[in-house]
Amino acid sequence: MIELKNTVKKFDSYTALDGVSLSIEKGTAFGLLGSNGAGKSTILRLISGIYSPESGEVLVDGESVFDNVTAKEKVFFINDETVQFGSFTLLKLKNYYKNFYTSFSEEIFETLRKKTGLPLDKKINTFSKGMKRQAIVIIGLACRTDYLLLDEAFDGLDPTMRIIVKKMIVDAMLDRQLTTIISSHNLKEINEVCDKAALIHEGKIVFSRDIDDVKGSVHKIQVVFNRKEDGTVAAYSKEDFAQDGIEILHFEQSQSICFIIAKGDIEAIKASLLIKDPMITEVIPLTLEEIFIYELEVLGYDSSDNNGE
């Protein structure tokens, strides 16, 4: 497994990670969610041994990964940038990585290359963005590491290319219990590929749990109240609905209709609403993106201010 234990990472006076603790079990498809500058890419670079923490630990199968060749050989990191490989052909890139990964599989490499139709002898800087991403994913999967890290792996790819790259990764996850950690701003993709996720905000972990649990613990409820005899409706506030075990993430009222985003047991939430004798109570499904936005709203972050890390 991968473990970060009270990890701190600084760049001069800026603290990118502030005491982050995180456990990622083997065979997990894990998503890293967060706003611009939250620390997602920093976590991936720590796990891959590119960065060393100022304090705390970053462990791969119980070993510190920084400056540890054995631990690093278990990890393959796919960065969003491929410019450093521009002058390489795919053949040269394959041979380059074979020097560092003793488990490299020529069979996997050639099988995936034939599926994508990528040429061996053309320089990678002549490839489209999608072809470049395919090339590095093929190399990463052929290295047969235990852990595959992807930083914005599907960003900028057209829908067809996105499906091809995603299928290669998912097939490897199913075939050999590959542990995959994906940093992405596309919450739909995290929802499709990952079974667990962590939300990071300003270098701290907001939550880390199963995606199904995340979606099952936050609820959107639309409540319609009866008007009084004089035609008015009681004015409510966020605090009127908060009770033990129920956290109100968002509340707004428009005349007789209240929209509530609440965290907690849905039956307890419904019971607290019944006390106020609503005319209609409707639970509306929330997307993972909506949950992400409301969680950040509670932290005082306006998600419309930033679009990426």
Flag whether pLDDT at 81 surpasses 80: no
Whole-number pLDDT of residue 29: 92
Whole-number pLDDT of residue 82: 64
Which of these three, 202, 236, 252, is where a domain ends?
202
Residues 82 and 228 in one domain: no
- Lowest average pLDDT, out of 16-30, 64-78, 135-149, 182-196, goes to 182-196
Residue 307 lies in a domain: no
> For residue 119, with 0-12 CB atoms within 10 Å meaning exposed, 13-18 middle and 19 or more buried, which class applies?
middle
Across 47-51, average pLDDT: 94
Residue 47 lies in a domain: yes
Residues 247 and 111 in one domain: no
Whole-number pLDDT of residue 306: 43
Residues 146 and 186 in one domain: yes
Flag whether pLDDT at 5 surpasses 50: yes
State the chain's mean pLDDT as an integer. Answer: 86
Residues 153 and 15 in one domain: yes
Q: In this structure, what CATH number is given to the domain that contains residue 37?
A: 3.40.50.300
Residue 308 lies in a domain: no
Total count of domains within the chain = 2
Whole-number pLDDT of residue 83: 65
Residues 50 and 193 in one domain: yes
Whole-number pLDDT of residue 305: 45
Across 27-43, average pLDDT: 87
Whole-number pLDDT of residue 140: 93
Residues 238 and 190 in one domain: no
Across 230-241, average pLDDT: 78
Compute the Cα dihedral for 201, 203, 207, 212 and give only its sign: positive
* pLDDT single digits (tens) 86-99: 788 999 999 999 99
Whole-number pLDDT of residue 302: 54
Residues 175 and 226 in one domain: no
pTM: 0.79
Its domain, for residue 266, covers 216-301
Which of these three, 146, 174, 202, is where a domain ends?
202
* pLDDT single digits (tens) 138-154: 999 999 999 999 988 77
For 236, list phi and psi in degrees, rounded to 5. Answer: -110, 165
Residues 220 and 185 in one domain: no
Q: In this structure, what CATH number is given to the domain that contains residue 275?
A: 3.30.70
Across 229-251, average pLDDT: 78
* pLDDT single digits (tens) 16-28: 999 999 999 988 9
Residue 222 lies in a domain: yes
DSSP states of the chain: -EEEEEEEEEETTEEEEEEEEEEE-TT-EEEEEE-TTSSHHHHHHHHTTSS--SEEEEEETTEE-TT-HHHHTTEEEE-S--GGGTT-BHHHHHHHHHTT-TT--HHHHHHHHHHHT--SSSBGGGS-HHHHHHHHHHHHHHTT-SEEEEESTTTT--HHHHHHHHHHHHHHHHHH--EEEEE-S-HHHHHHH-SEEEEEETTEEEEEEEHHHHHHHEEEEEEEEPPPTTS------GGGT-BTTBEEEEEEEETTEEEEEEES-HHHHHHHHHTT-EEEEEEE---HHHHHHHHHHHTT--GGG----
Residues 69 and 93 in one domain: yes
Residues 172 and 245 in one domain: no
Per-residue confidence band for 10, with pLDDT thresholds at 50, 70 and 90: very high
Per-residue confidence band for 299, with pLDDT thresholds at 50, 70 and 90: low
Across 53-66, average pLDDT: 94
Residues 189 and 285 in one domain: no
Residue 210 lies in a domain: no
Residues 84 and 148 in one domain: yes
pLDDT-above-90 percentage for the chain = 39
